[in-house]
Structure 1
Amino acid sequence: MRTKLETAARYGAVGVLLANNKAGALPPPLPKGVVSALGPGGEVVVSRTYAPGSVQVVGALSAAALQQLFAGAPADTAQTLAALRAGKPASQALPGRLRAAYRSRYQDVDGYNVVGKMEGSDAKLKNEYVVHSAHLDHLGVGEAINGDSIFNGAHDNATGVASVLEIARAYSRLKVKPRRSVLFVLVTGEEMGLLGSAYFAKFPTVPKAALVADVNTDMPTIIAPLLAVVPLGAVHSSLLQPVEAAAAYLGLAIEADPEPAQHRFIRSDQYSFVVQGIPALHLKYGNKTADGQNNLSEQVQKWRVLTYHKPQDNFDGGTFDWDAGRKYAQLNFLIGYQVAQAAARPTWNPGDFFGARFGK
């Protein structure tokens, strides 16, 4: 959404209409309001749903309405979509006119990131930082589901915050601290569009150029034994090497993302660091199971239907595998520790999309 709005604003659009081109399909869902973080001067500094500039209205169209909008145009929707799929520009003037009106309500809300720092032991490298991050917000109080209206967020993301706290405790017990310094960053506003992490990555409490990597922890989903992991984003940079070493040490297999269509790498706080050119990753469960069926994703998907983003994501009556949680925290710690000890900072892989787009 943000990329679409920013592109439209850059070319002077006064509005953006999002359309679903599948026949009979409903219009695509729109954000529930525009949520942004403001800078000291009151200006928008980070947002996933607002592009500073010319875009004033965002709306959604059904496939039928899209066809009406293209009526009488030089190219119809089929020709336009075919050109876009082929990577060719398909801009054209539409003969119709559109009038839109909107009403808005504005509300200020204060939110806080919590940042801890452990100084490194190397006289030079201590001025560079490895980040361990997790988001501390959830959904608050909402419409009741099965008689409960409090969205506790036990898995999403209390387990992630607890993991970062355990990682911090492990670092604190080292007799010799790693060469680089480490930041423990618990961010707000993830559920509102990665706002807290986007703000921190853009305006960190240390020089931005000193941030070398982010190891993010979001909803580990510790509901079964941890036998394999999916290191989302690691394949884009040299971070894959410490992931492989740590996983081998703990006897964990590494798997490819079983849900590539979910685009999970760009949906959590690690992506805020990526946008600032900082290599990052997010560790999720793999599909391996002790019985050899290797179908854990099916169990996770069933859990999501019943629990994810619902009041039922609760500690009381919830499903937790504490040994898996311990191993997950160990894995994240070992990855971050290796990066903090390495002589060279992580780098984007040659020709990588994210590195080419943001790493410069």
Structure 2
Amino acid sequence: MLLAALLVGACSKTSDSPSAAGAASDSAATAPNVASAAQAITAQGLLAHVKDLAADSMEGRGPGTPGEDKTVAYLTRQFQSLGLAPGNPDGTYVQNVDLVGYTSRPTASIAVAGKTMALRFPDDYVLNSRHDRPETRIDASDVVFVGYGVVAPEYGWDDYKDVDVRGKTIVMLVNDPAVPAPGAPLGDMERLDSTMFHGKAMTYYGRWTYKYEIATQKGAAAVLIVHETGPAGYPYEVVKGSYAAEQFDVPSPDAEKRVGAEGWITVDKARELFAAAGQNLDSLKAAATRKDFRPVALNAKATFDVKIAVRRVRSKNVVAKLEGTDRKDEYVIYTAHWDHLGRDTTAQGDQIFNGALDNATGTAGLLELAKAFKGLQPAPRRSILFVSVTGEEKGLLGAKYYATHPLYPLAKTAADINMDELNPWGRTRDMIVIGLGNSTLDDVLRRVLTADGRTITPDAEPQKGFYYRSDHFEFAKQGVPALYTEIGVDAVGQPAGTGLKRRQTFDETDYHKPSDDVKPGWDFAGAVDDLRALFRVGYLVAQQDAMPTWKPGTEFKAKRDSMMR
């Protein structure tokens, strides 16, 4: 998983009365043949696959490493043994994914108030340059604070206010503008204006990828995002660990047009910079929550020298297919990323990032779902694709590649159902839906869970933008309705708060660390419940005449509507 979530909240109180057609199709999900096929999903099967995928011999499943070769071979063997057809129309189980790897070693300094402030990589900042050349130099560029760096005409918002930032280094805040609700004090993240940027819920304007994109559009030479753990949703160590390692991207003919250097700066170092320039970061943060904010020149000059080692890598998505019946040219996709962070040969002690929870569990779940669908008789009406994607930890790259180079038309793709971390801590009464209310897939899941006596819990921290941080998002960007569920928090037979505490403990101790290994006492009964629910959701989507749709007001609806026309 690109970023783990700390999720808790009241169960969703909304419900949908299924139509007669919906009720009829729902009854099909509990038919004896469907119930029997779902029983193929077992805790023992999950655990066996997780142990295999997270073994030291897999070397952390890093793209472009021997660990990738072993992982792809393992997944291919498993799909073949199940009797599933190759998912690529060329007759293979792989989709080649061309990537460019960038390893940056930057140096940086900022001249301010007659002194030179040194920046230590990667402790004070991280920086990359995704240009296909050995070095990017930026000399004495003016430094400008641009608030949140957002241009959103629909909200009447422009953080640049016609200021020319071409050739300059821009510094911006993480997340969406935190516009307070009327009467609420600044900084009250629980009382944000719901008419601006979805209130608490992050929009794409708050995502770091957007911030680099707008910096490119504005012609900036470099961009630094001020890291703060609360708004970002993850500690600086996560950013540090990612940027200090090799970065990947899908090749683009426009790569040379991209902003020259992009990265993050710690909030403590940003405070030091602003203070040296005679400014107060907190005061400027408050100013940046207003529409009348204007960029502020910091009277500083930034110099960067980014040395870049570039290599071309051909990674792989692994794809298997179960052919449908009368709608076999339409598809339901299940996705889970197989990759993790590989190994760090410079580390003392354990060097392998095994990625057991993140995301050997989701990949194992994909194999268990494939086994269940293969045993289903008769086969569903629509075809089912099982896609284990590469490069999620590097920026959703395998999903991005499939969504922009689809093996089957996206207009014929009914849905993507994504799994990124499955529950190893026992049963829960709920499942979390990230982005609840975006599509009619939520309604299908709700009806399935209701039949099981379970509920949906919404994401309690939508301001952290978890919807934009796993593979389903790349499908959503292209218009395909997507469902992304997370581990429930209402633990069966445990004191209140146990589910959240387990989630928090994982994030604090194991997330993106070599310690993400298979743990003694893991209990996959909850994961089995969740997978059997997702099996029935996919089956219903494959059976019903109409495809799922985005709900009104969702940012992906217009693209889907245009595609379907």
TM-score (ref. length: structure 1): 0.83
Task: For residue 102 of structure 1, give the secondary structure of its aligned residue in structure 2.
Answer: strand
1:229 aligns with 2:431: yes
Matched residue, 1:305: 508
Aligned CA distance change for structure 1 residues 136 and 14 (closer, same or farther; 3 Å): same
- Residue 333 (structure 2) pairs with residue 121 (structure 1): no
- Report what 1:63 is aligned to: 271
Per the alignment, residue 152 of structure 1 pairs with 354
CA distance in 1 between counterparts of 2:477 and 2:400 reads 9
**Paired amino acid for 1:310:** K
Check if 1:338 corresponds to 2:550. Answer: no
Counterpart CA distance in 2 for 1:81 and 1:357 is 34
Return the alpha-carbon distance in structure 2 between the equivalents of residues 145 and 251 of structure 1. 47
1:134, 1:218 → 2: CA distance? 6
Give SS of 1:308's match. coil
Give the alignment's Cα RMSD to 1 decimal. 3.1
How has the CA–CA distance of structure 1 residues 186 and 52 changed in structure 2, closer, same or farther, with 3 Å as cutoff?
Answer: farther
Q: What residue number does 1:48 align with?
A: none
Look up the equivalent residue of 2:331 and give its one-letter code: Y
Query: Does the Cα contact within 8 Å between 2:436 and 2:459 map onto a contact in 1?
Result: no
Distance 1:258 1:318 in 2: 29
1:98-132 per-residue CA deviation (whole Å, 9 max, x = no partner) reads 4332221112333110011122212xx33221110
Letter in 1 for 2:443: Q
Check the 8 A contact 2:324/2:384 in 1, yes or no: yes
Structure 2: segments with no counterpart, 5+ residues: 1-207, 230-234
Partner Cα distance (1:144, 1:15) in 2:
29
51-60 vs 297-306, which moves further: 51-60
Partner of 2:410: 208
Distance in structure 2 (CA, Å) of the matches to 1:96 and 1:310: 37
Work out whether 1:99 is the aligned partner of 2:311: no
2:477 corresponds to: 275
Shift of 1:259: 3.9
- The alpha carbon displacement at 1:183 in A equals 0.9
- One-letter amino acid matched to 1:64: E
Q: Aligned equivalents of 1:323 and 1:107: distance in 2?
A: 43
Which of 15, 21, 26 is the aligned partner of 2:222?
15
Identity fraction in percent: 33
> Distance in 2 between the 1:97 and 1:289 partners?
53
Cα pair distance change 1:144/1:94, threshold 3 Å? closer
* Structure 2 SS opposite 1:127: strand
Which of 179, 202, 209 is the matching residue for 1:2?
209
Q: How far does the alpha carbon of each residue in 1:33-66 deviate from its partner, in whole angstroms, 9 at most, with x for none?
A: 6733345xxx468xxxxx6624112244412313
Distance in 2 (alpha carbons) for counterparts of 1:4 and 1:357: 22
- SS of match in other structure, 1:132: strand
- Contact 1:153 1:313 (C-alpha < 8 Å) held by counterparts: yes
Q: Report the residue type matching 2:318 in the other structure.
A: V
Q: Which AA in structure 1 matches 2:374?
A: S
The residue identity in structure 1 corresponding to 2:305 is A
The alpha carbon displacement at 1:21 in A equals 8.5
Higher strand share: 2
| Correspondence list, 1:152-231, <5 A | 152-231=354-433
Structure with more contact order per residue of length (Cα contacts < 8 Å, sep ≥ 6): 2
Structure 1 residues 254 and 27, CA gap change in structure 2 (3 angstroms):
closer
Q: What is the aligned length?
A: 342
Secondary structure of 2:272 counterpart: helix
Q: Which residue of 1 aligns with 2:13?
A: none
The separation in 1 between residues aligned to 2:521 and 2:512, in whole angstroms, is 15
Q: What TM-score results when the alignment is normalised by the length of structure 2?
A: 0.55
2:10 match: none
How far did 1:223 drift? 1.6
The structural deviation recorded for 1:310 is: 2.7
